[in-house]
Structure formats: C-alpha cells, structure tokens
Amino acid sequence: MKNSTYAACVVASAFMFATPVLADATAEGIAKYREALAEGNPAELWEMRGEELWKEARGPKKATLEKCDLGQGPGVVKGVFVTLPRHFADTGRVQDLESRLLTCMETLQGIPADEVAKTPFGKGEQKNIEALVAWISAESRGMKFNLPMAHPEEKRMYEIGKRAFNYRGGTHDFGCVTCHGEDGKRIRLQDLPNLTKGPDAARGFGSWPAYRVSSGELWSMQRRLNDCFRQQRFPYPMYGSDVTVALSSYLGVTANGTVESIAPAIKR
C-alpha cells in the first residue's frame, strides 16, 4: 500500500518536473535525475531516518520526541503536516513545522532552540531536522491542506504573509510576487507556480520538503524560502523567523482544499 502510493507520487513528480529539468540541468544532473527516478525518490532515506529520530532518546534530557505536540495532540504525526503553520497555545505563537520542532527539541530533549536555529543548513542538528520533516510530511502524503484560520493570530500571520509575499525591495525591486504572481511563467526553463492561487500554491508549497537532484540534498521549506530570499537579493531570513512562518501561513491557507500534498517531492 505504502509502496504503490509512493510509486504514484514518483510518477506524478516525473510528469510535473521532467520537461524543465531535462533541458535545464547539466549532463551530470540529468544522469543523476534519471538514476533517482529509476530507483525512486531518495527522500525515502531521510524519511526512514526521521522516523528513527522521532523515537530516539536524545539531548541533555535523553528523551524522545514521541510526546511532541504538532497540533493534533502529543505524539500525533499522521496528517499534521497539512495543518501547519497553526497557533499553539503553549508558546502563544503561530508555528510552522520546523519552528515547532525546535520547541519540542528544547522542551522535551533540552536541545537549545537558538543553537539549532543558528546551525547552517545541512549541518549538525539541521541534518536531523531534515530527516524529521521528511518523515512527518510523508505522513500527510495524499492529503489536502487544511490549515486552521479560526484563531486571530492565524488570521494575522496569513495577512502578514500576504504582505511579505508582495513586499518588493532590494537592489532588484524583487518580491516573491515577481516570479510567483502570474500563471504559466518560467525562469529560464523552470516552470513557476502562481503561488497566489490554490492549486499552484498547493503544488508549490506541498512539494517541500523535497529531495533536490542537483545537489543530492533534502531541502526543508525553511531552506527553500531562504534560497528564494537569496535570489531576491534580500538579506538573510533567520531560521524560523516570523516572516518565514507568515509566508508559509499565506501559502498554506491559499493551498487549502485544493490538490494533495506530495511532500517530500523530488526536484531538479
């Protein structure tokens, strides 16, 4: 059952991304991409590690994450990914999956959230976050986004995210909206989702975390947003900062009820 769903997702990914990838990437990239498709999405390796990490006693408190509340009660992982970001009463904040994991790691395991947030992507505890988000997102594969909007803070973060999305600045006058505000556009040969509309927002937002063939890495949503801001010529968004959570709220709410999440997807 799991394998057949998984195979369907790989095939779906191939349809969605084959054209831009084949024409855009280097020969080496194409070879790696084909290899990846032949063998399935390597994100599965991160998923397996993530499931182990969830149950592993770690940190100064030698505790597991099994009591972590991702919004549906302590320990519930199935289906939570498509409801985040959401408001959490214990922190009084709207949190995305990654900022919520920092809270759980700190309170349950005693791993300082500040230090994890400062760790560069792909290193140390950030590698563990990659594995965790791969597994947790996979547990919502095939589900539609259903972010709650009842709490005033959720509404507020959505509204802030919408404004951040349209915020044009920097040397190039770019904003998220420059590339992701219209239907059917491309950068070079890369198709750009129109993130202001439901189905595209679900396809864009619902693909991350994703395995990136070009770098052989698994990128979380935080890392994806970070690289968007880099290319916009903006300064560096701090890990788990409000702008990143607000953008995810805006994208997630826009995606609500449209197409199914395929995260962790496979990308160029």
Partner 1 sequence: MNIRIRQGAVALAVLATVAGCAGTGASRVSSADYDKDAAAVMAASFREQGIVKTDRLTQDEVMVACSKFGHSLDDDLRERFQAAALAEVKWPSDGKYIGDWKEGEKIAQSGRGLTWTDKPDAANGGNCYNCHRITKKEISYGTIGPSLYQYGKVHGSTEATQKYVWAKIWNPNAYSACTNMPRFGTHGILDEKQIRHIVALLLDPKSPVNAE
Instruction: Provide the residue type at 45 as one letter.
Output: L
Q: Does 221 bind partner 1 (CB under 8 A)?
A: no
Which DSSP helix (H) or strand (E) runs through 83? Answer: none
Cα-to-chain-centroid distance, residue 21? 20
Phi and psi torsions of 94, nearest 5°: -80, 130
Q: Which two tokens stand for residue 160?
A: 């802030």
Q: Does 179 bind partner 1 (CB under 8 A)?
A: yes
Phi and psi torsions of 135, nearest 5°: -70, -45
Q: Does 11 bind partner 1 (CB under 8 A)?
A: no
Beta bridge pairs of residue 169:
174
> What distances in angstroms separate CA 174 from CA 50, 145, 157, 218, 252, one per listed residue?
35, 28, 21, 26, 22
228 carries an active-site annotation: yes
Among 75, 110, 169, 257, which residue interacts with partner 1 (rule: CB under 8 A)? 169
Number of residues that bind partner 1 (CB under 8 A): 46
Q: Which of residues 24-43 bind partner 1 (CB under 8 A)?
A: 24
Which residue do the tokens 């999405």 mark?
A: 41
Q: Does 184 bind partner 1 (CB under 8 A)?
A: yes
Q: How far is the CB of 178 from partner 1 (least distance, A)?
A: 5
Q: Does 183 bind partner 1 (CB under 8 A)?
A: no
Q: Does 168 bind partner 1 (CB under 8 A)?
A: yes
Dihedral, 13, 15, 19, 25 alpha carbons, nearest 10? 20
Catalytic-role residue among 68, 176, 179, 228: 228
Q: Does 238 bind partner 1 (CB under 8 A)?
A: yes
Q: Does 19 bind partner 1 (CB under 8 A)?
A: no
Among 170, 215, 216, 257, which residue interacts with partner 1 (rule: CB under 8 A)? 170
Q: Does 243 bind partner 1 (CB under 8 A)?
A: yes
Among 66, 217, 242, 260, which residue interacts with partner 1 (rule: CB under 8 A)? 242
Mapped to the 3 state alphabet, what secondary structure does 27-66 carry? HHHHHHHHHHHHHCCCHHHHHHHHHHHHCCCECCCCECCC
Q: Which stretch binds partner 1 (CB under 8 A): 64-72, 171-179, 199-207, 259-267?
A: 171-179
Task: Tell me which residues touch partner 1 (CB under 8 A).
Answer: 23-24, 152, 155-156, 159-160, 163-164, 166-175, 177-179, 181-182, 184-190, 192, 229-231, 233-238, 241-244, 246
